[in-house]
């Protein structure tokens, strides 16, 4: 059994000074190696916005091969999940997913660097009969017996009524293909329980309820958050996850956990704190996320 904890991305300029030493500010090519001193996995978000080219994938393979027991987890491109699937274009979604497998997933897997692949579904992809068939067709086209896949459902209709379980039809589609349900900590109600296929996926988004659900309201001087992910979990907020993760250990072979509250290196701080709570050995590091910007930051 393994529990891997990391962050959603590593290439953030506002981590310099709080996580990355200032002397690395202009040496971005060294950031991943420094990140890997503390974490053995990372979730790559950039693949969601644009499928990577051959040179980019080769760079990840080269850098990852220089690290010890390191894994990349990836997000399926939004062209698949937020465009084709939302429009019910099953053939387009299948072609896009297949291209992503060939061009990105397979090279990383062959290099021994692949973690999980996440399909983060659109908040506009609701549960109805047509979308169930679209979901089933896309997931059936994936090599889910060869690679670990997970799905993050964002529209509330995928919940089982008012409960904290996934809809039974969706759960069966995942179960038949050994695909994990991504569990989420974030604003609003979320699916909290799922039977796993031998691997699990957990994401921490932060809990900025006002920004998520009321938009980016005009902020005063005392509200300096960068965005919806500018949130630092307290230990009291992380502690309830410990027994949940321990329970998952009994049934899962691999649990991957990523912190997406990346603003000002808060993800790194919370990831290390959760490792402490779970008694996972790691290299120690003091991280002090900035409370506010100064003119010097610009």
What are the residue boundaries of the structural domains of the chain, listed by start? 2-213+236-291
With a cut of 60, say whether residue 292 has pLDDT above it: no
With a cut of 50, say whether residue 223 has pLDDT above it: no
Of residues 209 and 30, the one with the higher pLDDT is 30
Report pLDDT for 208: 82
Tell me if 181 sits within 8 A of 234, measured CB to CB.
no
Report pLDDT for 192: 72
Q: What pLDDT digit, counting tens, does each position of 187-203 carry?
A: 876 777 767 778 999 99
Report pLDDT for 297: 36
3.20.20.410, 3.40.1160.10, 1.10.1040.10, 3.40.109.10: which CATH number matches 2-213+236-291?
A: 3.20.20.410
Distance CA 63, CA 61 (A): 6
Report pLDDT for 166: 87
Report pLDDT for 196: 73
Alpha helices, DSSP H only, in the chain? Answer: 31-35, 46-49, 54-65, 78, 90-100, 106-110, 129-141, 168-176, 209-214, 235-238, 241-249, 266-277
Q: Cβ contacts of residue 235 below 8 Å, gap of 6+?
A: 273, 277
Report pLDDT for 211: 63
Mean pLDDT across the stretch 156-180? 88
Phi, psi of 53 (to 5 degrees): -80, 175
With a cut of 70, say whether residue 216 has pLDDT above it: no
Question: What is the band of 228 on the pLDDT scale with cuts at 50, 70, 90?
Answer: confident
- Specify the pTM: 0.90
Q: What is the mean pLDDT of the chain?
A: 89
Report pLDDT for 220: 39
DSSP one-letter code for 185: E
Distance CA 4, CA 248 (A): 13
Q: Strand, coil or helix: what is 263?
A: helix
Tell me if 254 sits within 8 A of 198, measured CB to CB.
yes
Distance CA 288, CA 166 (A): 37
């Amino acid at each position: 059994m393994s529990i891997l904890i990391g962050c959603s991305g590593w290439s953030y300029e506002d981590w310099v000074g709080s996580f990355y030493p200032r002397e690395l500010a202009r040496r971005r090519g060294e950031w991943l190696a420094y990140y890997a001193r503390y974490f053995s996995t990372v979730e790559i978000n950039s693949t969601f916005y644009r499928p990577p080219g051959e040179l980019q994938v080769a760079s990840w393979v080269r850098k990852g091969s220089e690290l010890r027991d390191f894994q990349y987890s990836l997000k399926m491109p939004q062209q698949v999940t937020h465009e084709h699937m939302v429009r019910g274009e099953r053939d387009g979604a299948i072609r896009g997913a297949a291209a992503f497998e060939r061009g990105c997933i397979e090279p990383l897997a062959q290099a021994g660097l692949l973690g999980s692949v996440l399909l983060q579904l659109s908040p506009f992809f609701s549960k109805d009969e047509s979308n169930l068939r679209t979901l089933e067709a896309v997931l059936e086209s994936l090599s889910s017996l060869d690679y670990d896949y997970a799905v993050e459902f964002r529209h509330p209709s995928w919940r089982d009524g008012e409960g904290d379980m996934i809809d039974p039809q969706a759960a069966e589609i995942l179960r038949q293909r050994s695909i994990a349900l991504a569990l989420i900590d974030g604003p609003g109600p979320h699916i909290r329980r799922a039977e796993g296929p031998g691997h699990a996926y957990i994401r921490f988004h932060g809990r900025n309820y006002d920004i998520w659900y009321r938009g980016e309201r005009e902020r005063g001087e005392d509200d300096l958050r960068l965005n919806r992910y500018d949130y630092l979990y307290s230990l009291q907020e992380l502690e309830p996850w410990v027994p949940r993760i321990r329970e998952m250990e009994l049934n899962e072979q691999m649990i991957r956990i990523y912190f997406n509250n990346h603003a000002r290196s808060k993800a790194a701080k919370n990831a290390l704190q959760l490792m402490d709570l779970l008694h996972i050995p790691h290299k120690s590091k003091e991280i002090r996320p900035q409370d506010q910007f100064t003119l010097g930051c610009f």
